[in-house]
Structure 1
Amino acid sequence: MLAPNLNAAEATSNAQVIAHRRTLWRWHFYAGLFVMPLLIVLAITGTIYCFQPQIEPLLYRDRMVVTDTHGPQLSREVLLAKAAANEPRGAVPTLAQIEADRTRSAEFVFRLPSGESESVYVNPYDGAVLGTLSVEHRLMKQVRNLHRGLMLGKTGELVMELAGCWTLVMIGTGIALWWPSRSNARQGGVWLPRLSLQGRAWWRDLHAVGGVWLAIGALFFVLSGLPWSGSWGKQFKALATSASLGYPKGAWGEAHVHSTAPGAAGKPGDEHAMHGMQMKMDDLPLQQTPWAVGATNLPDSAHAPAPAARVSIDDVVALAAKNGVTDDYGIALPAKPSGVYTVSYFPADPRDERTLHIDQYSGRVLSDIDYASYGGVAQWISYGTSLHMGRYFGLANQIVCSAISLGLAALAVTGFIMWMKRRPTRELGAPARPVKRAPMRAWRGGLTVLGMIFPLMGATMLAVWCLDRLAFGLRRAVA
């Protein structure tokens, strides 16, 4: 009398396992269908951009590299004047890039009358102009734009942000599908693929085992990249600021960081006007800006001071060196009479990050923001960014990042091959929905939380769920 009850219970349990697995497989399929093509783009562009320090000096050697004559170098002001003489009328200098390497040329960025910007390279020994490069159209800028937004502006940034969020779903469901039971753990294909298999089973083992080995790297890439995204990243910055976990104290106008010309007196209401419509650090033509200071206010004032002589770039370089900033940094030049010099140092070790605002008339340091000033969240993100870009451990970091990126691209290829081998002709080939709905309360709760943390993703998850019910609602697997 007990046997039929046991068989029924066992059948119910098996049906729940099948329903659970098919539901996970279905979500993994939808996530992969959207993410995999974008993952290939992210992997290739990320790998190329990771080696930017090596690629650009080779690609633009005639402009970036000079012969060290072991003689004295011309002053930065003289070199800037040489660069300016090479530019069309109306070009405005916006940035001086400082390199301590004596085999590198001096680089200055100008905003052209057309609105675009270009770098001018000058031999620091004889002042000869070596050539120019468009800031917007140089190779690494295009690679970065592809990586962050498919070169489609705001729309592309949102798509890439969604790709990152859906990668989290793909990782979670992928690990759950791989998770070994007692039976298949003995059969192999858990930590090493069974190369003796044939056909789709061989590809499945390669995909599953490779995915597990790469899961931690993929998760790190997503979590370290999302804070830089165009939509959620900006909201996250605001949240970190309000909770005193992101920006340093003084970032939102608590510090007096605007230049004052000698004898210039402020008028009543100037302070309020100064903070009304201010530019941010991210608006400056800097090559890189630390995440923690990207949205901090730039100095401005309502009334331009009387004309006055400003300190030279060489004085700013000397002042930066006195404060421990000596190599590979940018100096954003004052854009207005009330502006300041902004020194932005974005080194491989985030603990050395530094941002200095310097009065353009007196040379006084008005604001000094270092790593110790950051909130806890910003400090972690700084480390994540350095590792994400392959900078922290030098060449070893670049190789590890490239291996993970190209491995993820390989997963996209194996996933596509598996899909093509299984997909019926002229059909999407989504895994069939189980007859019995699996409880999966923990999974639904997790996806709900994920959708609340990433609202844009939550909206797309809801859209996918509705589309799945409407388009494929009648198709169910046999129990």
Structure 2
Amino acid sequence: MSTTATPVRTTPTVTGANCAYRTLWRWHFYAGLFVMPFLVVLAITGTVYCFQPQIEPLLYPHRLVVTPKASPRLGEDALLASARAVLPSGALAITARMSSQAERSAEFIFRLPDGRKQSVYVNPYDGAVLGTLDVDRRFMQIDRMIHRKLLLGKPGELLMELVACWTLVMIGTGIALWWPREASSLRAALMPDFTRRGRPLWKSIHATLGIWLAIGAFAFVMTGLPWTGFWGKQFKALATSVKLGSPPGAWGGLPLHSKVAGQAAASGTVPERHASSPSMDAMPGMTMDDMPLPQVPWAVGAVPVPRAPGAGASDTSPLPLGRIITLLRANGLTDRYDIALPASPDSVYTVSYFPADPKLERTLYIDQYSGAVLKDIRYSDYGAVGKAVSYGTSLHMGRYFGLANQIVCAALSLGLAALAITGCVMWWKRRPSGALGAPARERFRAPMRGWAAALVLLGVVFPLMGLTLVAVWMIDRAVCGSATKTAAS
């Protein structure tokens, strides 16, 4: 009597570490698939905008650049009159961009009767109009709007905010996937292996490039998020409410370095204004973010704009722009600041100085009738969050330490673009024909409570991100879960 051994069917052992790796790979794949095309756009537009000071004079040399002369510059009011003369009736001057550089033209921005905004460039030595530019069609403005919202308005702004948030997921899961296992050393993980061929080579380059860029990418995301349209505004409001964002006296009451210019505007000797002055009343609904200014420091974006205390008096008339410029020189501002001109009898001259060094930022409100400095908000008046965001913004834009900062930002941006491209190549090489090619789900998964908690926290801090996380998780379970059940049966 013979017996035949019945073969025993075994199931490959699935370790918790392997399950965890595949789960992280799936989330890294989803994050990368969504982020990749937008990351290339962000990298290119961000690099271009970073070099704005060098690029714009090359694009518009006949408007922005003049030949310095030994003769004195004309007064600001004469230059403004020259600019106004070339525009149609009804054009309203809304902004003056001040520069004391000998080779730069004077720039004034007007709102035309049809609602468009147009810059007029004037030679400061003879008053000749050098040309005009549509503000919204200026190359750098288009580049900036692509970077912020893909030229799609509010939907595009929300989309780019989601891209930034999903980049955080991509960075976190990428670091976890790269982390050296038992069989590899840290040194080997930090250098690509050029002895490999095909997809393994691309994977090696992608992994090492990603880890070298991780800190810079994280810094880019975190310094850009405070400026986003949804989360950034909520974050600014929260920081202000707990007195960590905008300066404490920005909402009325105690003035910040507030002074009255009066007859002493030219000399710069100005007495203090009392805290209970009615000039601290704000224009209803108007904040710094609403003003026609090219750039405003983040910490003062939500600050209400005061109204002119002298409005309505029959014996007063607005001060000319030249007097305001003289007052600002006496108060230490001489170059590269913007002035939002009064648009109504109760509005004020609003001055924004947004230099490369955050510690020098200033925002001033000046009564258009008396020349009183209603508020002078400086970096020292910001809350802790406002100060941190100011430094982050300067670094993010490549302005803080000059050309070296620009080069570092460009290298990081283009490196992120290369990361997206290498990730795309890897996906394409492993993608089955006619399929998405997402990493397979494991039927036996290790409990990854730490990562789950991190994703939940990320979704709570960034609500839009949280909604998409839930949506991706549900789709993944519905589609891939059913596929797994079918394969198992």
Q: TM-score, normalised on structure 1?
A: 0.92
Q: Cα distance 1:272–1:382, how it changes in 2: closer, same or farther (>3 A)?
A: closer
1:285 corresponds to which residue? 292
Amino acid at match of 1:129: V
Indicate how the Cα distance of structure 1 residues 259 and 136 shifts in structure 2: closer, same or farther if over 3 A, else same.
Answer: farther
Q: Which residue of 1 aligns with 2:216?
A: 217
8 Å contact 1:106–1:123 — kept in the other structure?
A: yes
How far does residue 474 in structure 1 lie from its aligned partner after superposition?
3.0
What residue is the counterpart of 2:430 in the other structure? 422
| TM-score scaled by length of structure 2 | 0.90
> How far off its partner does 1:288 sit?
0.9
| 2:19 corresponds to 1:19 | yes
User: How do residues 50-449 of structure 1 correspond to structure 2 at under 5 angstroms?
Assistant: 50-185=50-185, 189-254=188-253, 275=282, 277-300=284-307, 305-306=312-313, 308-449=316-457
Task: Tell me, in whole angstroms, the C-alpha distance in 1 between the residues paired with 2:106 and 2:98.
Answer: 7
Distance of 1:303 and 1:396 partners within structure 2: 48
* Residue ranges of structure 2 left out of the alignment (5+ in a row): 1-11, 263-277
Structure 1 portions without partners, runs of 5+: 1-10, 263-270
- Of residues 137-146 and 467-476 in structure 1, the stretch that sits farther from structure 2 once superposed is 467-476
Q: Which amino acid aligns with 2:305?
A: L
| Maintained 8 Å contact 2:158/2:229 | yes
Contact in 2 for aligned 1:432/1:475 (Cα 8 Å): no
Partner Cα distance (1:426, 1:273) in 2: 65
* C-alpha contact (below 8 Å) 2:283/2:305 kept by paired residues: no
- Contact 2:259/2:375, CA 8 A, preserved across alignment: no
Alpha-carbon distance in 2 for matches of 1:406, 1:301: 48
- The 10-residue stretch of structure 1 (272-281 or 395-404) with the greater mean CA deviation from structure 2: 272-281
Cα shift readout 1:250-269 (whole Å, capped 9, x = no counterpart): 22233579999x9xxxxxxx
SS of 2:97's equivalent in the other structure is strand
What is the CA RMSD across the aligned residues, in angstroms? 2.4
Contact 1:189 1:205 (8 Å CA) reproduced: no
Aligned to 1:7: none
Q: Is contact 1:354-1:371 (8 Å) kept?
A: yes
Change (3 A) 1:395 1:85: same
Matched residue SS, 2:329:
helix
Structure 2 residue corresponding to 1:456, chosen from 446, 464, 480:
464
How big is the shift at 1:300?
3.6
User: Could you tell me which amino acid in structure 2 is paired with residue 438 of structure 1?
Assistant: A
**3-state DSSP class of the match of 2:127?**
coil
Q: Is the 8 A contact 1:259 1:361 kept in 2?
A: no
User: Alignment identity in percent?
Assistant: 59
Task: Judge conservation of contact 2:106–2:124 (CA < 8 Å) in 1.
Answer: yes
Letter in 1 for 2:439: P
Code of the aligned partner of 1:107: E
2: CA distance between counterparts of 1:325 and 1:179?
51
Match of 1:268 in 2: none
Q: Is the 8 A contact 1:244 1:375 kept in 2?
A: yes
Give the superposition deviation at 1:306: 3.7
Deviation at 1:299, TM superposition (A): 2.4
Deviation at 1:475, TM superposition (A): 3.6
For the 8 Å contact 1:273–1:301, the answer to whether it is kept is: no
1:110 match: secondary structure: strand
CA distance in 1, matches of 2:377, 2:429: 56
Inter-partner Cα distance in structure 2 for 1:422 and 1:303: 72
Query: Offset at 1:97?
Result: 0.5
Q: Output the amino acid matched with 1:241.
A: T
What are the superposed Cα offsets for residues 219-264 of structure 1, whole Å, 9 maximum, x if unpaired? Answer: 000000000000000000010011100000222233579999x9xx
The question of whether the paired residues in 2 share the 8 Å contact of 1:259 and 1:338 is answered with no
Contact residue 296 and residue 354 of structure 2 kept, 8 A: yes
1:397-439 deviation per Cα after TM superposition (whole angstroms, max 9, x unaligned): 0000000000000000000000000001111110000111221
Cα distance, 1:476 vs structure 2: 4.3
Asked whether the 8 Å contact 2:279–2:307 carries over to 1, the reply is no
Deviation at 1:272, TM superposition (A): 12
> In structure 1, how many angstroms separate the alpha carbons of the residues matched to 2:389 and 2:173?
26
CA contact (8 A) 2:310 2:367 kept: no
SS at match of 2:136: coil
Letter in 2 for 1:297: P
Match in the other structure for 1:3 = none
Q: CA contact under 8 A between 1:249 and 1:373: conserved in structure 2?
A: yes
Aligned-partner SS, 1:279: strand
Does structure 2 retain, via aligned residues, the 8 Å contact 1:150–1:157? Answer: yes
| Cα distance change on mapping 1:255 and 1:152 into 2, 3 Å | farther
**Residues 276 and 109 of structure 1, relative CA distance in 2, 3 Å threshold:** closer
What secondary structure sits across from 2:245 in the alignment? coil
- CA deviations on 1:156-182 (whole Å, 9 max, x unpaired) are 000000000000000000000000012
Tell me how far apart the structure 1 counterparts of residues 123 and 308 of structure 2 sit (CA, whole Å).
37
Matched residue type, 2:396: H
Q: Which moved more, 1:175-184 or 1:220-229?
A: 175-184
Aligned-partner Cα distance in 2 for 1:89–1:402: 44
Question: What are the Cα deviations for residues 428-477 of structure 1, in whole angstroms up to 9, with x where unaligned?
Answer: 11000011122110000011111100011001000000000111113449
Per-residue CA deviations over 1:195-238 (Å, capped at 9, x if unaligned) read 11000000000000000000000000000000000000000001
Say if 2:399 and 2:406, in contact at 8 Å, map to a contact too. yes
Letter in 1 for 2:293: L
